[in-house]
Amino acid sequence: MTSFTIEIDGRPVQARPGDTVLELARGQGIDIPTLCHDPRLEPAGCCRSCLVEIEGQRRLQPACTWKATPGLKVSTRSERIERHRRVLMSLYLADHPVDADGRPPESPDGNALRHLTEGMPLLDLDRIDSPRAGRPDDDNPYIRFDPARCILCARCTRYCDEVEAVNAIALTERGGATTIGTIGMTGLLHTSCELCGGCIDTCPTGALSEKKNADLDLAAAEVTRTTCNFCGVGCQVDLHVLDGRVVRVTSPPPGTTVNDGNLCVKGRFAFDFIHSEDRLTEPLVRGEDGRLHPTTWQDAIEKTAAGLLGVKRRHGPGSLGFISSSRCTGEENYLVQKLARAAFGTNDCHQCAAT
């Protein structure tokens, strides 16, 4: 692809066809505020936070959707831009819950609106009470929606459409009553929602949040990155640990790991098993009394091998079957089929992900 040069804030920047002003600016460490932008989604330009001056354009233009062309000149800082952002943020806050300091309330994932208004001189506008409907009777166990915090950036609905392709939620109603709705305003359990929690992850204001452990001080938790153990894809997850217990699981930022900031319902919400009292913590073998008794790994492996070899000797290798788990890595599943074929002489091996 042929590259060309544009100018951002007087700085020459190399660009290629299809690059947006926002991408190029951030690549140069130039901060342009956004609310509706998510790198996993097609740019929408609906929040108007990223407006910049383009030479030759009468109006301010959204950096997230404006494509670079040879010779383009962009200004991301000017008195006109700052005035626009100040008025825009003031309008947002007039229709948003605020704390005693007049700023938007925090959430476990942060509130981008609060961050963008820090230190900004705002206009003293009258408060607005938009009649946006919520879903208070939604009995799904994981996702809560607070319509008062919603800024209608549509990141959640676009994520549900473009990434998950399930279209469980959408912008409904019109004007000041516009809200994030479902078919018939039913609960998520009665829609095509997969409860992946991606809408929570992409929401910039905390309008969508987790129900699990919402009463805990999640900001005090220690975060450790690890690999999800629910399948062999290798998704990276961040475990939030409070008082020695995992209380939350989130995904790393988009573009940083193999899962690009995405998780399924199991990876994000099914962590209760970690501290379950029913978990096995040591190998067990059945004794002559018919009961299971704790033993060592060496003893358990030896007894397993002896039992399998005994079946093979009495009934032939065709009487044995091996099945491996999609929770294992590709290398581990390869070893299971090699064990079946090379050690026990049977081709009767299967993988649960194939069903």
Residues 28 and 54 occupy one common structural domain? yes
State the pLDDT at residue 244: 94
Hey, which residues does 229 pair with through a beta bridge? none
State the pLDDT at residue 306: 94
User: Which of 258, 279, 300 is at the close of a domain?
Assistant: 279
Cα separation, 51 vs 81, whole angstroms:
7
The candidate with the shortest Cα–Cα distance to 263, out of 336, 166, 196, 326, is 196
Average pLDDT over residues 294-306: 95
- Structural contact between residues 155 and 112, judged by C-beta atoms closer than 8 angstroms: no
Residues 70 and 14 occupy one common structural domain? yes
Does residue 134 belong to any structural domain of this protein? no
Residue % of the chain over a pLDDT of 90: 79
State the pLDDT at residue 313: 95
Which of 249-253, 297-301, 328-332 shows the lowest mean pLDDT across its residues?
328-332
The candidate with the shortest Cα–Cα distance to 159, out of 262, 62, 22, is 262
Average pLDDT over residues 115-143: 89
Amino acid of residue 333 = N
Give me the chain's average pLDDT, please.
93
Handedness of CA 240, 245, 247, 248 (dihedral sign): positive
Amino acid of residue 188 = L
Cα separation, 151 vs 178, whole angstroms:
10
State the pLDDT at residue 132: 87
pLDDT band at 9 (very low <50, low <70, confident <90, very high): very high
Does residue 10 surpass a pLDDT of 90? yes
20: DSSP letter: B
User: Which of 279, 312, 337 is at the close of a domain?
Assistant: 279
Does residue 206 belong to any structural domain of this protein? no
Average pLDDT over residues 160-171: 96
User: Which of 53, 77, 101 is at the close of a domain?
Assistant: 77
Backbone angles phi, psi at 249, to 5 degrees: -130, 130
340: DSSP letter: I
The candidate with the shortest Cα–Cα distance to 50, out of 72, 25, 79, is 25
Residues 18 and 35 occupy one common structural domain? yes
Does residue 60 belong to any structural domain of this protein? yes
Does residue 136 belong to any structural domain of this protein? no
Cα separation, 158 vs 199, whole angstroms:
9
Model confidence pLDDT, tens digit, residues 184-227: 899 999 999 999 999 999 999 999 999 999 889 888 999 999 99
Does residue 272 belong to any structural domain of this protein? yes
Does residue 355 surpass a pLDDT of 70? no
Range list of H helices, 163-264: 198-202
Confidence (pTM): 0.86
CATH number reported for the structural domain that contains residue 57 in this entry: 3.10.20.740
Torsion of CA 72, 254, 47, 185, to 10 degrees: 150
Hey, which residues does 248 pair with through a beta bridge? 240
Number of alpha carbons in the 13 Å side-chain half-sphere of residue 258: 9
SS3 91: helix
Model confidence pLDDT, tens digit, residues 239-276: 999 999 999 999 999 999 999 999 999 999 999 999 99
CATH number reported for the structural domain that contains residue 264 in this entry: 2.20.25.90
Average pLDDT over residues 116-128: 90
Residues 304 and 263 occupy one common structural domain? no
- Structural contact between residues 180 and 64, judged by C-beta atoms closer than 8 angstroms: no
Range list of H helices, the chain: 21-27, 79-94, 112-117, 155-162, 198-202, 265-269, 297-315, 330-338
Residues 221 and 241 occupy one common structural domain? yes
Model confidence pLDDT, tens digit, residues 73-88: 999 999 999 999 999 9
Does residue 312 belong to any structural domain of this protein? yes
What is the count of structural domains for the chain?
Answer: 3
Torsion of CA 305, 307, 308, 312, to 10 degrees: 130
**Residue 273, domain extent:** 213-279
Does residue 1 surpass a pLDDT of 70? no
Average pLDDT over residues 234-242: 95
Cα separation, 314 vs 202, whole angstroms:
59
State the pLDDT at residue 88: 96
State the pLDDT at residue 353: 74
Does residue 51 belong to any structural domain of this protein? yes
Does residue 110 belong to any structural domain of this protein? no
For the record, the structure tokens of 338 come out as 């090699």
Residues whose CB falls within 8 Å of the CB of residue 276, separated by 6 or more in sequence, listed in order: none
pLDDT band at 130 (very low <50, low <70, confident <90, very high): confident
The candidate with the shortest Cα–Cα distance to 37, out of 29, 100, 5, 26, is 26
Does residue 95 surpass a pLDDT of 80? yes
For the record, the structure tokens of 253 come out as 């930022």
Residues 262 and 307 occupy one common structural domain? no
Whose tokens are 């005994």? That residue is 310
